[in-house]
Structure 1
Amino acid sequence: MEIFAKCGMRCDLCLIYRPNVEREYRRKEICAVWKKQNLNFDGDPATIICDGCACEREDAVFFDKNCRTRKCVFEKGYKHCGFCENYPYDIFPAEPAPEEIARMIDVEKLWTWEEEKLMEAYACKRYMDEFRAEHIKEV
């Protein structure tokens, strides 16, 4: 079952989403890829975990507790960004185009295609575009 984060990321595919971590530990792999993509990333694979931004428990743990997208979606009362009339808004997470990813992998050798596969959950715009094409009738 698809579980969308507020920004459209797929929690059900995320390697730090608590139910996935409890089922299969792969945080070390995803943290290594994130570090390659963002040298400032310093998450500890032993402790990084997320309950999913739809979680409303007071003790919930979020990857980014200050996420502007999450705050915006809650303020507007939507389930996720795909329902918003302003989609894609300027706070929507940016993601590289397929051509950019191919260049970074095949030319710049920043990471591998196998590592890119670990990033599948985080293609927010792709998932929201697909959601909107299927569920939202544009005016």
Structure 2
Amino acid sequence: MKQMIGYCGLNCERCDAYLATVRDDWQLRKKTAKLWAELNHAPILPEHINCQGCRTDGVKTVFCESMCGIRQCACKKGVATCGECPKLEACSIVGTILANDPSARKNLEG
């Protein structure tokens, strides 16, 4: 499995936080921080939008590092991705992502 596939199956290379980091794009950081703050009801600021990938060494956004329940669960269980978890099909934590993004499920299978 590609290293840039997150624990949930999403492709980190398509994530706005990752793109803002590798492109050093301040406007994308501001846009992403605003959206993520609204979606997560959390004080996420543009300077928090720095990420080199969910499963890679290096910097992660404040959301990915400490707020993402999927990442926390996978790290606790010691799985490379949710695709290795025997409870995947019944999981309410990652279920929303898999229901909304068929490519995530496919990435976890590959």
TM-score (norm 1): 0.54
Contact 2:4/2:13 (CA < 8 Å) preserved in 1? Answer: yes
Stretches of structure 2 that go unaligned for 5 or more consecutive residues are: none
The answer to whether structure 1 residue 61 and structure 2 residue 37 are counterparts is no
CA deviation map 1:13-37 (0-9, x unaligned)? 11212x6523251212223333454
TM-score (norm 2): 0.64
Equivalent pairs counted in the alignment come to: 104
Aligned-partner SS, 1:6: coil
Partner of 1:21: 21
**Per-residue deviation, 1:92:** 1.6
CA distance in 2, matches of 1:6, 1:77: 11
Contact 1:5/1:54 (CA < 8 Å) preserved in 2? Answer: yes
Question: Which protein shows a greater Rg?
Answer: 1
CA distance in 2, matches of 1:24, 1:37: 23
CA deviation map 1:13-69 (0-9, x unaligned)? 11212x65232512122233334545x243211342223221345xx4343333332
The answer to whether structure 1 residue 32 and structure 2 residue 8 are counterparts is no
CA distance in 1, matches of 2:38, 2:75: 32
Contact 2:79/2:85 (CA < 8 Å) preserved in 1? Answer: yes
Whichever structure has more helix as a proportion of its residues is 2
Partner of 2:71: 70
Cα RMSD of the aligned pairs, angstroms, is: 3.2
Query: 4+ runs of 1 displaced by more than 6 Å?
Result: none
Stretches of structure 1 that go unaligned for 5 or more consecutive residues are: 98-122
